[in-house]
């Protein structure tokens, strides 16, 4: 419309704008006359309305989401999709297909009620770590709407965790690490969990190869050997994660002396009490990435129902705080790595936290965070026309990112600096499909930037609801708009050959003139 008014600035004998439209509500519901660059109310604006003889079935993929806990290699993955029906007719026997990396994985039949929604759940597995692309497709004759939704998956290889048991027992259930191991791998099978824990006792610390693990957990380990401390410090500087649990054997002075840099503040003393005197958990830092799981009310109620009756007192900014103000969970950064201290024990000796519902998701979330937060995930993508924001390491500043679009065309994007990260904005997302990101030569492979991302048609583009003529005229005020059905235009615009009638009229006129001339 802005372009039409611009063109009609030129002199012309007669000016008129004709807008051919199906009166689709989407688009008009966002429209505002104020957004037009210029308006001339004197120019007639006529809307030629195209209508359908019969409304087709109108359905679309509304959402694709992950129904399982992360995306791990060779682990069961649950993918859920919501199908929306915008029409007034029920959609029966709708074929819904799931494909990963171009291969059909599963298909199901669904029925969607008029103006309703339904969910379809698929089960699949990913065999290789890294980036993958997927698509949910709807198939039914006569279906109007966006029939495909693209998404991307980041599959994570298993997280290897070294668990050091500082108080092993002959009875497995009484072991210091019994609850911890089951939180990491409840079924105890290699291919049943994203986490792969290995348990050693304190005597094996010096021989342990820390580089083989993403996270190390010390559970009530009394004292740390010097040789192990040296390896641990190098491990943390290179980006490893360390989780420390206190306990009755835990020697505060030894940790203060040998891991001073890994603690947010020196450990002071131990508070030992009876189970009946346990402290409640009061405050949780929900802004911390590892604790965002507590936005779930059930998990928050679960952790606040726990009681902690014995713990090590420590200083520093707490991520989880007891009701008396003492910290229960603290974090400290060491080089590229992270250290977390849980002031109580990993077993049932000092708290009842291990037998609470929240223990499993809490341990898994802390482990993910310490491993770098690279959790397998599903990304439903952005809408066509939206910008894709990419965050990159600072070493990429000044370089160029290449994006390959679904039509194989390339777009080069400049990388700029922003605080301690590099930043790139991809704006050429002009068609639905999978976009591939190529990092600059010599850049870090593990940069955190996605290798793939999905772009989808906006959901409401599939909606066939119409705006009424009155609503449209109100939106266009003060422009005077006339809505004309295309049928009326056709009837009023039929061409008639006037040659024969005019010839007959001419003959009659000449005869009449001759007759009048002879008579008068």
What confidence tier does 34 reach under pLDDT thresholds 50, 70, 90?
confident
Question: CA-CA distance, 327 to 314, in Å (whole number)?
Answer: 7
3 state DSSP class of 260: helix
Statement: residue 210 has pLDDT above 80: yes
366 vs 124, 462, 488, CA distance in Å?
A: 26, 41, 68
Statement: residue 496 has pLDDT above 60: yes
Greatest alpha-carbon pair distance for the chain in Å reads 141
Statement: residue 171 has pLDDT above 80: no
Per-residue model confidence as pLDDT tens digits over 287-304: 999 999 999 999 999 999
Helices and strands in the chain: count of H runs, count of E runs: 10, 31
Tell me what the mean pLDDT of segment 200-206 comes to.
93
Question: CA-CA distance, 466 to 189, in Å (whole number)?
Answer: 55
What class has domain 159-370?
Answer: alpha beta
Question: CA-CA distance, 214 to 240, in Å (whole number)?
Answer: 6
Per-residue model confidence as pLDDT tens digits over 64-105: 999 877 788 888 899 999 999 999 999 999 999 999 999 999
Quick one: pLDDT at residue 391?
A: 85
Whether domain 381-457 has CATH 2.30.30.100: no
Strand order in the sheet with 481-485: 17-21, 45-49, 481-485
Quick one: pLDDT at residue 406?
A: 96
Question: CA-CA distance, 1 to 38, in Å (whole number)?
Answer: 9
Q: What is the dihedral of CA 322, 325, 328, 330, to 10 degrees?
A: 140
What confidence tier does 493 reach under pLDDT thresholds 50, 70, 90?
low
Closest listed residue to residue 121, CA positions, set 66, 63, 79, 93: 79
Per-position DSSP letters for 167-199, written without gaps between them: S--SSGGGSTTHHHHHHH-TT--GGG-SEEEEE
| CA atoms within 13 A of residue 134's CA, in its CB half-sphere | 31
> Alpha-carbon torsion 385, 390, 396, 402, what sign?
negative
Beta-strand ranges (E) seen in 246-364 are 267-271, 279-284, 307-308, 311-314, 318-322, 327-334, 337-342
Query: What stretch(es) of the chain map to CATH 2.60.40.10?
Result: 381-457
What confidence tier does 243 reach under pLDDT thresholds 50, 70, 90?
very high
142: left (phi over 0), alpha (psi -120 to 50) or beta: left
Q: Is the pTM of this model over 0.75?
A: no
Question: CA-CA distance, 380 to 376, in Å (whole number)?
Answer: 14
Beta-strand ranges (E) seen in 68-102 are 77-85, 91-100
Quick one: pLDDT at residue 26?
A: 81
Question: CA-CA distance, 273 to 310, in Å (whole number)?
Answer: 5
Average pLDDT, the chain: 90
Residues of the chain with pLDDT > 70, as a percent, come to 96
Give residue 446's Cα distance to chain centre.
20
The residue whose two tokens read 């929306």 is: 84
Neighbours of 167 (CB within 10 A): 22
Residues of the chain with pLDDT > 90, as a percent, come to 60
Q: Which two tokens stand for residue 467?
A: 């705006």
Query: What stretch(es) of the chain map to CATH 3.40.50.880?
Result: 159-370
Neighbours of 266 (CB within 10 A): 14
> Alpha-carbon torsion 206, 210, 212, 217, what sign?
positive
Per-residue model confidence as pLDDT tens digits over 364-389: 999 989 988 556 789 999 999 999 99
């Amino acid at each position: 419309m802005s372009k039409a008014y611009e063109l009609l600035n030129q002199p012309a004998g007669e000016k008129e704008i004709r807008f051919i439209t199906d009166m689709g509500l989407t688009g008009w519901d966002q429209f505002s006359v104020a957004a037009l660059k210029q308006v001339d109310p004197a120019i007639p604006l006529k809307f030629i309305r195209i209508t359908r003889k019969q409304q087709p079935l109108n359905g679309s993929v509304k959402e694709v989401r992950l129904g399982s806990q992360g995306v791990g290699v060779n682990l069961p993955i649950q993918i859920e999709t919501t199908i929306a029906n915008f029409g007034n007719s029920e959609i029966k026997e709708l074929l819904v297909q799931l494909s990963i990396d171009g291969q059909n994985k599963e298909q199901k039949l669904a029925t969607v009620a008029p103006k309703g929604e339904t969910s379809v759940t698929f089960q699949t597995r990913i065999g290789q770590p890294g980036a993958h692309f997927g698509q949910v497709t709807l198939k039914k004759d006569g279906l109007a709407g966006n029939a495909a939704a693209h998404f991307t998956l980041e599959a994570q290889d298993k997280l290897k965790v070294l668990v050091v048991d500082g108080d092993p027992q002959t009875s497995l259930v009484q072991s210091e690490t019994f609850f911890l191991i089951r939180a990491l791998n409840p079924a105890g099978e290699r291919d049943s969990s994203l986490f792969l824990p290995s348990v050693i006792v304190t005597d094996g610390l010096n021989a342990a190869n820390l580089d083989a693990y993403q996270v190390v957990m010390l559970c009530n380990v009394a004292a740390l050997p010097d040789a192990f401390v040296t390896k641990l410090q190098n491990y943390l500087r290179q980006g490893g994660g360390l989780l420390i649990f206190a306990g009755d054997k835990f020697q505060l002075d030894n940790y203060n002396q040998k891991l001073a840099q890994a603690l947010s503040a020196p450990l002071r003393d131990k508070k030992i009490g009876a189970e009946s005197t346990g402290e409640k958990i009061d405050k949780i830092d929900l802004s911390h990435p590892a604790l965002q799981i507590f936005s779930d009310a059930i998990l928050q109620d679960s952790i606040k129902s726990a009681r902690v009756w014995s713990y090590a007192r420590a200083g520093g900014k707490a991520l989880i705080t007891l009701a008396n103000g003492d910290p229960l969970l603290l974090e400290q950064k060491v080089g590229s790595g992270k250290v977390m201290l849980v002031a109580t024990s990993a077993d049932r000796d000092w708290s009842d936290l291990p037998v609470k519902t929240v223990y499993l998701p809490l341990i898994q979330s802390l482990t993910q965070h310490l491993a770098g937060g690279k959790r397998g995930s599903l990304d439903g993508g952005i809408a066509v026309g939206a910008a894709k924001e990419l965050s990159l390491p600072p070493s990429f500043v000044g370089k160029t990112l290449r994006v390959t679009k679904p039509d194989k065309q390339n777009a080069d994007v400049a990388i700029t600096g922003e605080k301690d990260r590099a930043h790139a904005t991809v704006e050429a997302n002009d068609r639905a499909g999978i976009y591939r990101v190529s990092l600059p030569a010599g850049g870090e492979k593990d940069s955190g930037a996605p290798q793939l991302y999905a772009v989808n048609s906006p959901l409401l583009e599939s909606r066939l609801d119409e705006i009424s003529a009155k609503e449209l005229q109100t939106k266009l005020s003060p422009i005077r708009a006339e809505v004309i059905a295309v049928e009326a235009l056709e009837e009023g615009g039929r061409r008639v050959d006037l040659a024969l009638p005019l010839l007959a009229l001419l003959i009659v006129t000449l005869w009449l003139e001759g007759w009048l001339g002879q008579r008068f």
